[in-house]
Chain A
Amino acid sequence: MWFSLEAAAAAAAGAVRPVLLARIDAEPIVRAWSGVGDLFLAADVIETTDQAKYLGIGLFNDWPAFEALINGAAGRVTLTLSGVDALAQDLAEAGLDQVENQPVHFGVLFLDEALQPIGDPLWLLEGVMETVETDRDSGRRSVAANIGYGPLDRRRPVLAYWSPADQAARAEGDRFCERTPLYSEGVEVTWPRWN
């Protein structure tokens, strides 16, 4: 789950060999990775099955940008798979109820020089599959999955801010957020003027 020292060293090197992983906890579980052929991964915190088979899909069409979410914000990403055939589109529509509200995980796994995995995958993001949309634009069919992450529904935690008061309520006597009011957000820092 966490970045191992070996993976950190690999990420800091001049050449990195990351592969991207996606896992939808539907029935059956959907597993995909950014390479070709099959990839078998050992079980970890997220992946409960040992030697689970990740399906190589060549590349994700558009790997979305993830945001680090703080202060109780929620994010949403859309994954689009273009150029699918009519059958895949039908299946996506028919199987909607099986994937909606299912947990989705995105991760990255670093490979070493011999293209073997270094440690466990780093699961970057845990989201919820919200809706699946299918589209047909001038003969080109696509399936898009909307994935929400962060506190995205009405179960937003009450204590969502990194303020001293919130932190004191979370853990009495903890001074971790003591100086956060000193931070300014959205303010341009200018060079001092001495005259």
Chain B
Amino acid sequence: MDVFPVTNFPVTALRWRPVGMTIGGGPTFTGPGQEGEFSGGGWWVAELNEMDLGDEQAIRALRALIWRAKKLKRFVVPMLDWPLSPALASVPHGDGSPFSDSSEYVGGGVEATLATSAVHRATQVSITLNPETAGPLQGGEVFTLVDAVMGPRLHGIDEILDVDGDTFTCSILPPLRTGFDLGAEVDFNTPRCVMRLDDPQDEATPWITAGWEGKSSLRFVEAFDRLEVEEA
């Protein structure tokens, strides 16, 4: 499955959010009304607003991608979330001194694995973080788990339930799309998700202004296609 090259088109505003189907019941005689959530966890929606198409090369590339999406092609869309991922650990020089601007060496990315196996639709996972690579989890981070059938799926940490050394028990949303074994890689570095372009009004195709420039806004919705066909 192809990766949508988000970084080729600088966006003005970026928003990723899990959405579901929440309805309110209205006020009742006995107090405030009920709220109901019917989707059992919801799915991801990504909005990429005002992508800057600076030259004809970018317009050509984006047009080709939109036309492929119109054939219902699914893309892996990266979330571009590295400032919000767990803080990377850094080391000073051998004598303990930092660089002249007081920064230190930073290398690699966050290394994390599942500390226990996790079942399908679980909303609690235990993640072991390599403390030499990154600081502690705080909630609000996103990560990706890759399954051979479901592809890469995005999950967000909404609460840290328990900390045991380097192992964090986290409450996550949305529920896991499939079960995972102990030791599965938890990817905090490149959070990404299988998505489809949601473009019923055909607004993704950019208006081209004089000078061959344009801006385009895209909206992606998590797709539930399987990469491999399962046996029924």
Residues in chain A within 8 A of chain B (CB atoms): 13-20, 28, 33-40, 56, 58-59, 111, 114-116
Given contacts A114-B171, A115-B123, A116-B123, contact A37 B37 (CB under 8 A): no
Provide a sorted-by-A list of 29 A–B residue pairs whose CB atoms are within 8 angstroms: A14-B32, A14-B34, A15-B34, A15-B37, A16-B35, A17-B37, A18-B38, A19-B38, A19-B39, A34-B21, A34-B38, A34-B40, A35-B40, A35-B41, A36-B41, A36-B224, A37-B177, A39-B40, A40-B120, A40-B121, A59-B38, A111-B40, A114-B124, A114-B171, A115-B40, A115-B41, A115-B121, A115-B123, A116-B123
Residues from chain B with a CB closer than 8 A to the CB of A17 are: 36-37, 40
Q: Is the interface of B mostly helix, strand, loop or mixed?
A: loop
- Whole-angstrom distance between the alpha carbons of A16 and B22 in the complex? 10
User: CB-defined interface of B124-160 with A at 8 Å, one 1/0 digit per residue?
Assistant: 1000000000000000000000000000000000000
B84-119 CB mask vs A (1 if < 8 Å, else 0) is: 000000000000000000000000000000000000
Q: Which A-B residue pairs are the 3 nearest by beta carbons?
A: A35-B40, A19-B40, A114-B123
Among A15, A19, A35, A116, max chain B CB count under 10 A is at A35
Q: From residue A191, how far is it (CB to closest CB) to chain B in Å?
A: 20
Q: How far is the CA of A5 from the CA of B104 in the complex (A)?
A: 58
Residues of B within 8 Å of A56, CB to CB, are 40, 224
**Given A16-B34, A18-B36, A59-B21, is A36 in contact with B222 using a C-beta cutoff of 8 Å?**
yes
Q: A36–B43 contact, CB under 8 A?
A: yes
Check B175 for interface membership: any CB of A closer than 8 A. yes
The prevalent SS among residues of A at the interface is loop
Count of interface residues, chain B, beta-carbon cutoff 8 Å? 24
> In whole angstroms, what is the CA distance A38 to B34 when docked?
27
**Chain B CB within 10 Å, residue with most, of A17, A20, A28, A40:** A17
Which residues of chain B have C-beta atoms less than 8 A from A28's C-beta? 232
Contact (Cβ within 8 A) B124 A16: no
State A63–B177 Cα separation when bound (angstroms): 25
- Give the residues in chain A near B10, CB-CB below 8 Å: none
Cα A15 to Cα B31 in complex, Å, equals: 13
Q: Across the two chains, which residue of chain B brings its CB closest to A58?
A: B39
Please, which residues of chain A bring their CB within 8 A of the CB of B31?
Answer: 14
B1-40 at interface with A (beta carbon < 8 Å): 21, 31-32, 34-40
- Residue-wise, chain B 202-213 has the 8 Å CB interface mask toward A (1 for contact) of 000000000000
Q: Is the CB of A38 within 8 A of B40?
A: no
Name the B residues within 8 Å of A15 (CB-CB): 34-37
**A126–B37 alpha-carbon span in the complex (Å):** 24
